[in-house]
């Protein structure tokens, strides 16, 4: 009997899924070139904060990054050869203004020049010739896969977005964005986490697409817990893109607004989406060293069911039973009952 109990204990121990770290705060970042990063990366931008991590969204041999793995954030965050974008200083500002126990995880999914349809769940334009991993039929599936991987390690706290140059003044655009955000929140079980949309380059800087800011500013009226990040006073590198200094300030503005809107009081009460177990290796290069926090997100492994969602985002662990464990418990209880009956009959 003691041997049976030991087997049951071992199986139950193995069935406990690794719990995502409630202090690993995840942010999704998607859009087109201004979110991907289009300005020169300067020496000051290479200063890292080891409490800011980025998930590789492609296999990038030049950066020693492998798709789906976490690395200490250093530009380019998006893809392999991009420039500086708002995500860099968004992550740094968030980390600098959070307790030292909190690590920031950035999940970038931006593609230069893409129309909003790339991110629709129905994939109406498919891959559209874009360089995304071949297993995905469009940008939505790609972003969703990375987000689910991120949920194995931490809690999704918000989404930042910058797109619209390819859809300037299209009245359908805001409804498409609404659809994408709704699908992401539902498919990830993250409730109404904050969604921040950035304005495009203003007309003061000979912008190609400033008219679209009217559409961007209509998003909060369509999407719950959505807000607009102003681009006022931020000069451009060209007719569509910001300068390096403007990206630094834009990232700071995203972070300032996000800090006001996120729920930092209930990191541990959250949900996690269903996903397969994953175990990723960590790069040994200096630019991709492990964070100094107590847990390494690349070593987390989860196999979980969807729990109740909350506005604080995705996270949390669970215990899963199997038919084998159930059968062993039944056998144990049956044999215990027979033994008790035997003892009573001898009294």
Residues assigned a catalytic role: 33, 238, 241
Q: How far is CA 305 from the centre of its chain?
A: 18
Query: 75 forms bridges with which residues in the sheet?
Result: none
Contacts of residue 94, Cβ cutoff 8 Å, sequence gap at least 6: 25, 27, 52, 104, 255, 258, 259
Distance CA 232, CA 21 (A): 37
Token code pair at residue 258: 């996000």
- Of 132, 145, 143, the closest CA to residue 278 belongs to 145
The answer to whether residues 113 and 134 touch, using CB atoms and an 8 Å cutoff, is: no
Taking CA 339 as the corner, what is the angle to CA 336 and CA 345, rounded to the nearest 5 degrees?
140
CA distance 202 to 257: 20
What is the C-alpha to C-alpha distance for residues 235 and 308, in angstroms, rounded to an integer? 44
For the sheet with 52-55, list strands across it: 70-72, 52-55, 103-110, 24-31, 155-162, 195-198, 226-229
Please spell the DSSP secondary structure of 150-208, one letter per residue. HHTTSEEEEEEEE--GGGTT-TTHHHHHHHHHHHHHHHHT--S--EEEEPPPPGGGT-S
Distance CA 116, CA 120 (A): 7
Tell me how far apart the alpha carbons of residues 345 and 339 are, in angstroms, rounded to a whole number: 10
Strands 103-110 and 24-31: parallel
């Amino acid at each position: 009997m003691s041997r049976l109990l030991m087997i049951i204990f071992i199986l139950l121990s193995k069935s406990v899924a690794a719990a995502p770290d409630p202090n690993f705060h995840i942010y999704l970042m998607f859009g087109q070139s201004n979110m991907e990063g289009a300005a020169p990366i300067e020496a000051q931008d290479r200063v890292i904060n080891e409490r800011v991590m980025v998930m590789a969204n492609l296999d990038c041999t030049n950066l020693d990054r492998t798709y789906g793995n976490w690395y200490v954030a250093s530009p380019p965050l998006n893809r392999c050869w991009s420039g500086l974008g708002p995500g860099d200083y968004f992550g740094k500002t968030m980390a600098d203004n959070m307790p030292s126990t909190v690590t920031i995880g950035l999940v970038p999914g931006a593609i230069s020049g893409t129309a909003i349809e790339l991110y629709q769940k129905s994939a109406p334009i498919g891959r559209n010739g874009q360089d995304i991993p071949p297993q995905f039929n469009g940008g939505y599936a790609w972003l969703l896969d990375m987000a689910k991987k991120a949920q194995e390690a931490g809690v999704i706290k918000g989404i930042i977005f910058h797109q619209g140059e390819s859809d300037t003044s299209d009245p359908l655009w805001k409804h498409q964005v609404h659809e994408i955000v709704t699908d992401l929140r539902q498919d990830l079980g993250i409730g109404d986490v904050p969604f921040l949309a950035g304005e495009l380059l203003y007309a003061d800087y000979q912008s190609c697409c400033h008219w679209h800011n009217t559409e961007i500013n209509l998003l909060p009226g369509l999407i719950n817990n959505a807000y607009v990040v102003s681009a006022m006073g931020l000069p451009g590198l060209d007719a569509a893109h910001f300068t390096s200094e403007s990206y630094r300030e834009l990232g700071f503005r995203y972070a300032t607004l996000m800090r006001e809107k996120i729920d930092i009081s209930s990191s541990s009460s959250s949900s996690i989406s269903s996903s397969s177990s994953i175990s990723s290796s960590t790069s040994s290069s200096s630019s991709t060293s492990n964070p100094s926090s107590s847990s390494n997100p690349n070593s987390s492994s989860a196999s979980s069911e969807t729990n109740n969602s909350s506005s604080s985002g995705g996270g949390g662990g669970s215990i899963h039973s199997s038919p084998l464990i159930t059968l062993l418990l039944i056998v144990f209880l049956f044999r215990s009952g027979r033994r008790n009956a035997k003892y009573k009959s001898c009294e």
